[in-house]
Structure 1
Amino acid sequence: MRRVWEGLAGNPALPAEAVERLVRLDEPDLSSELAERTDLTERQVEVLAERGVVAAERLVENGRLTAQRVDPRRQPIAALALLRAGRAPAGWAELLAGRRELWPELASTERLPAGVARRLLAAADQDVLVALAEAQPDPGVLAALAAHPSSHVRQAVGWNPAAPADVLADLLNDRPPLTSCEVCERHPVPWTHPPDCPDPDCDLPGGAACDGSHQYARHTVVEAALAHPNAPAADARRHLHDPSGLLRAPLAERTDLDPDTYAQLATSTEPFVLAALAENPAVGERLIRELAAVPHETVRRAVVCNPAVPLDVLERAWEGVVLKLGATLPPRIAAADPAETERLAASADPELRRLLALRRDLPPHVRDRLAADPEARVANAVAPHPGLEERQLTAMHHRHGRLVGPGIAANPDTPTTLLRALTTGEHNVATLRALAVHPAADGATLTACLRDRRARERAAAHPALPLDRIRALLADPATAHHAAANPSLPAADLLRLMPPQ
Structure 2
Amino acid sequence: MTPEDIGKAAGPAERRLIGLALNPAAPVDVLLRLLASESTAVRMALCRYRTLPGPVVDAVVAHPDGTTRGFFAENPYADPEQRARLVDDPEYRVRGRLAREPRADDVCMPRPLPDRTVVRMIETYEDDHLWELNRLISPGLRRAMPAHASAKVRHMGANAWHSLTPRELAALLADPDPDVQKAAAANSRSYERLRNPDAVREDLPTHPCHTHTHLLIYGALAPDVVAEALPRHAGLIARNASVRPETVALLAAHPDPKVRTRVAERPDLGPAERRALAVDPDPEVRLTLSVHPALTEAERAAIDYEVSQDESYFHSPPYDPELLPDLEHIRTLALSAHPLLRRRAARELHLPADLVALLADDPDLGVRVLLGQNHPDAPAALLLRCFLEYTGRDRWHLTGHGNFPRAGLARFAGDEDPAVRRLALLDPGMSGDAADRLTRDPDPQVRADAARHPRLPQDRIAALLDDPELAHRAAANPALPAATMYGLVATAGQQAS
TM-score by length of 2: 0.53
2:446 is aligned with 1:456: yes
CA contact (8 A) 2:360 2:379 kept: no
Q: Which AA in structure 2 matches 1:105?
A: H
Name the CA distance, whole Å, in 1 between partners of 2:328 and 2:418: 32
The equivalent residue for 1:14 is 26
What one-letter code is carried by the residue in structure 2 that aligns with 1:233?
A: A
Whether contact under 8 Å (2:25, 2:478) holds in the other structure is yes
8 Å Cα contact 2:465-2:472 kept in structure 1: yes
- How is 1:52-451 mapped onto 2 (pairs within 5 angstroms)? 55-56=72-73, 58=75, 62-64=80-82, 74-79=90-95, 86-88=118-120, 92-93=124-125, 104-105=128-129, 108=132, 164=187, 166-167=189-190, 169=193, 173=200, 215=207, 218-224=208-214, 231-234=218-221, 238=225, 242=229, 248-253=234-239, 259-281=245-267, 283=269, 287=273, 290-296=276-282, 298-300=284-286, 302-303=288-289, 310-312=296-298, 314-315=300-301, 319=305, 323-326=308-311, 328=314, 344=337, 367=357, 371=361, 412=403, 414=405, 416-417=407-408, 419-423=409-413, 428-429=417-418, 431-437=420-426, 451=441
Give the distance between the partners of 2:344 and 2:130, measured in 1 at CA.
Answer: 46
The residue aligned with 1:150 is: none
Q: Are the counterparts in 2 of residues 240 and 251 from structure 1 also a CA contact under 8 Å?
A: no
Matched residues in 2 for 1:9 and 1:107: separation? 33
The amino acid of 1:2's aligned partner reads: G
Query: Contact 2:23 / 2:478 at 8 angstroms: preserved in 1?
Result: yes
Cα-Cα RMSD: 6.1
Instruction: Quote the Cα distance in structure 2 between the aligned partners of 1:370 and 1:28.
Output: 44
Question: Deviation per CA, 1:17-55, whole angstroms, max 9, x where unpaired?
Answer: 344434544748953860453322434213378227564
CA, structure 1 residues 453+12, in 2 after alignment: closer, same or farther (shift >3 Å)? same
SS at match of 1:105: helix
CA contact (8 A) 1:380 1:404 kept: no
Question: Relative to 1, partners in 2 of residues 1:316 and 1:413: Cα closer, same or farther, differing over 3 Å?
Answer: farther
Is the 1:7–1:484 contact (alpha carbons within 8 Å) kept by the matching residues of 2?
Answer: yes
Q: Distance in 2 between matches of 1:269 and 1:50?
A: 59
Give SS of 1:64's match. Answer: helix
Q: Secondary structure at the match of 1:324?
A: coil
C-alpha separation in 1, matches of 2:368 and 2:64? 45
1:256-297 residue CA offsets vs partner (Å, 9 max, x unmatched): 665444434333444444444434545467645544433445
Contact 2:220–2:242 (CA<8 Å) still a contact in 1? Answer: yes
Q: Which amino acid aligns with 2:63?
A: V
* Secondary structure of the structure 2 residue equivalent to 1:38: coil
Could you say which structure has the greater relative contact order, defined with CA pairs below 8 angstroms and 6 or more residues apart? Answer: 2
**Matches of 2:33 and 2:223, distance apart in 1:** 57
Paired residue for 2:44? Answer: 31
For residues 184-211 of structure 1, the C-alpha deviation after alignment (integer angstroms, 9 at most, x for no partner) is xxxxxxxxxxxxxxxxxxxxxxxxxxxx
Give, in angstroms, the shift of residue 456 of structure 1: 1.3
Change (3 A) 1:174 1:352: closer
Corresponding residue of 2:151: none
Letter in 2 for 1:34: C
Q: 1:431 to 1:46 in 2, by over 3 A?
A: same
Cα separation, 2, equivalents of 1:353 and 1:177: 37
CA distance in 1 between counterparts of 2:95 and 2:253 reads: 54
CA distance in 1, matches of 2:39, 2:289: 52
Question: Deviation of residue 254 (structure 1)?
Answer: 5.2
Of residues 28, 51, 63, the one that matches 1:47 is 63
Q: Following TM superposition, by how much is the alpha carbon of 1:484 offset from its aligned partner in structure 2, in angstroms?
A: 5.2
With over 3 angstroms needed to count, the CA separation of the structure-2 counterparts of 1:173 and 1:32, relative to structure 1, is: farther
Q: Helix, strand or coil for the counterpart of 2:229?
A: coil
User: Which residue identity lines up with residue 12 of structure 1 in the other structure?
Assistant: P
Aligned in 2, Cα 1:481/1:462: closer, same or farther, shift over 3 Å?
A: closer
CA 1:293–1:249 in structure 2 vs 1: closer, same or farther (change >3 Å)? same
Residues 1:441 and 1:76: Cα distance change in structure 2 (over 3 Å) = same
- Which position in structure 2 is the counterpart of 1:487? 478
**How far apart, in 2, do the equivalents of 1:357 and 1:241 lie?**
41
Separation in 1, partners of 2:466, 2:75: 31
Local SS of the residue matching 1:323: coil
Structure 1 residues 225 and 478: alpha-carbon distance in aligned structure 2, compared to 1, 3 A threshold: farther
Q: What amino acid is the match of 1:31?
A: M
CA distance in structure 1 between the aligned counterparts of 2:64 and 2:227, rounded to whole angstroms: 53
The SS at the match of 1:11 is: coil
Task: Provide Cα deviations, 1:390-410, integer angstroms capped at 9, x if missing partner.
Answer: 8x999x99xxxx869999x96
Alpha-carbon separation, structure 1, partners of 2:424 and 2:294: 37
Unaligned runs of 5+ residues in structure 2 are 1-5, 9-14, 101-116, 136-154, 161-184, 318-324
Change (3 A) 1:446 1:382: farther
- C-alpha distance 368-461 of structure 1, shift in aligned 2 (>3 A): farther
1:6 Cα deviation from its structure 2 partner? 5.5
Judge conservation of contact 1:367–1:382 (CA < 8 Å) in 2.
no
Unaligned stretches of 5+ in structure 1?
Answer: 97-102, 112-134, 141-161, 179-212
Checking the alignment, whether the CA contact within 8 Å between 2:201 and 2:225 is kept in structure 1 is no
The verdict on how the C-alpha distance between 1:254 and 1:431 changes in structure 2, with shifts beyond 3 A counting, is farther
Return closer, same or farther for 1:306/1:270 CA change in 2, 3 Å cut-off. Answer: same
Pair 1:253–1:70, CA change in 2 (3 A): closer
Q: Report the TM-score, using the length of structure 1 for normalisation.
A: 0.52
The aligned counterpart of 1:143 is: none
Evaluate the alpha carbon distance shift between residue 283 and residue 88 of structure 1 in structure 2; reply closer, same or farther with a 3 A threshold. same
What is the alpha-carbon distance in structure 2 between the residues aligned to residue 138 and residue 256 of structure 1?
Answer: 25
Paired residues, number: 388
The letter for the 1-side match of 2:264 is A
**Cα distance per residue 1:90-117 (max 9 Å; x no partner):** 6644xx6xxxxxx743665569xxxxxx
Contact in 1 for aligned 2:431/2:455 (Cα 8 Å): yes
Structure 2 CA distance for aligned equivalents of residues 174 and 497 of structure 1? 71
What SS is found at the alignment partner of 1:12? Answer: coil
Q: Do 2:70 and 2:94's aligned partners in 1 also have CA atoms closer than 8 Å?
A: yes
Partner of 1:131: none
